[in-house]
Amino acid sequence: MRVTVVSGGVGGARFLRGLLAALGPGDDVTVIGNTADDIWLFGLKVCPDLDTVMYTLGDGIDEDRGWGRRDESWRAKDELAAYGVQPTWFGLGDRDLATHLVRTQMLQAGYSLSAVTAALSRRWLSTLRPAVRLLPMSDDRVETHIVIDDGQGRRAVHFQEYWVRLRAQVPAHEVVVVGQSEATPAPGVLAAVAGCDVLLVPPSNPVVSVGTVLGIPGVRAAVQSTPAPVIGVSPIIGGAAVRGMADQLLQAIGVEVSSAGVAGWYGARTAGGVLDGWLLDTRDAAGAGAVEAAGIRAKAVPLLMRDLEATTAMAQAALDLAGDVAR
């Protein structure tokens, strides 16, 4: 079975861990990773969501933080701060720095982000079974900016500044994905959507993880026309994002912060949207009727990724629902 997954960082990566456990060793997984969170810092190209997927699946992740390398130290960060170099709010750990150095060196030598990601993945993903291939959504520079109001008038800041420096604590008015409309999908992205047996949308942030991938010209159309069933997993449980800032950003774009609200925003493929099926948490089972009424097959199962067992059951439920809608 060939499964393609559109992924952000922590939510997507944790779901992928369960998916790998639910699949067989001969299956194939292609991950289309969000790169709209990417940022240049201290001359280095940082791709937080790609790295979170690599480190999580390759057993290098810091489990408590959910991002970055395990057993990390921060001596370079302290040295940068001692020079007074900005920004001081984004921590690049010493071990993590090696990834950004390799990536930047290869980009500057003329390799595409796809080629660089494949090279970095060799270390983290090459021994996994099922086999995992990680593709950036695009090789072009695409950056999410959030229009905020921090009391000094409205202005746009990079998504990382909104999330990491401001902790999503200031009002967000608009999400602007700079460079998106001129970007093209990275090599293999459209083929991975068109040629898979199941397409999964994990409980990643709908706005700044999945939405940014779907917004790359050609991707949404490919999702709409793939013969594979498309199944989404709700990132909203009991009317709130489990972690992260999905609540604030859904509000900013005028979408109700509920599982059914997010499903309705993705929309049914039969009605011009991207979904055939949707998993809601059992706590949100009352919303299943509204999802079905929108033309999306709905099923309520526990969706909290508290451990590998629970996450594997979730991924299995998504694969089962794919089988149901394909019938």
Residue in the block written with tokens 């030598």: 109
- Of 49-108, binders to Ca ion (CB under 5 A) are 49
Tell me the β-bridge partners of 149: 154
Q: Cβ closer to Ca ion: 18 or 48? A: 48
H helical segments located in 135-279: 159-160, 189-194, 211-214, 219-225, 246-252, 259-266
Instruction: Provide the minimum distance between the beta carbon of 209 and ligand GDP in the complex, in angstroms, as a whole number.
Output: 3
For residue 75, how many other CB atoms are within 10 A of its CB? 10
Separation between Cα atoms, residue 77 and residue 24, nearest integer Å: 41
**What does the binding site for ligand GDP look like in residue numbers (CB under 6 A)?**
7-12, 49, 52, 203-205, 209, 234-235, 237, 241-244, 246, 303-305
130 binds, among ligand GDP, Ca ion, none (CB under 5 to 8 A by kind): none
93 binds, among ligand GDP, Ca ion, none (CB under 5 to 8 A by kind): none
Return the range that interacts with Ca ion (CB under 5 A); candidates 2-10, 78-86, 163-171, 293-301: 2-10
Which residue's Cβ has the minimum distance to ligand GDP? 11
Helix axes 10-22, 48-57, angle to 10 degrees: 30
3-class DSSP state for residue 28? strand
Query: 174: closest CA among 136, 207, 217?
Result: 207
226 binds, among ligand GDP, Ca ion, none (CB under 5 to 8 A by kind): none
Return the range that interacts with Ca ion (CB under 5 A); candidates 9-17, 210-218, 239-247, 297-305: 9-17
Cα dihedral value 51, 9, 3, 261, nearest 10 = -170
Instruction: Provide the minimum distance between the beta carbon of 234 and Ca ion in the complex, in angstroms, as a whole number.
Output: 17
248 binds, among ligand GDP, Ca ion, none (CB under 5 to 8 A by kind): none
Q: Cβ closer to ligand GDP: 121 or 311? A: 311
Separation between Cα atoms, residue 4 and residue 97, nearest integer Å: 29
9 binds Ca ion (CB under 5 A): yes
8 binds Ca ion (CB under 5 A): yes
Residues that contact Ca ion, how many (by CB under 5 A): 4
Tokens of 114: 């796809």
243 binds, among Ca ion, ligand GDP, none (CB under 5 to 8 A by kind): ligand GDP
For residue 122, how many other CB atoms are within 10 A of its CB? 10
Please report, as ranges, the residues that interact with Ca ion according to CB under 5 A: 8-9, 37, 49
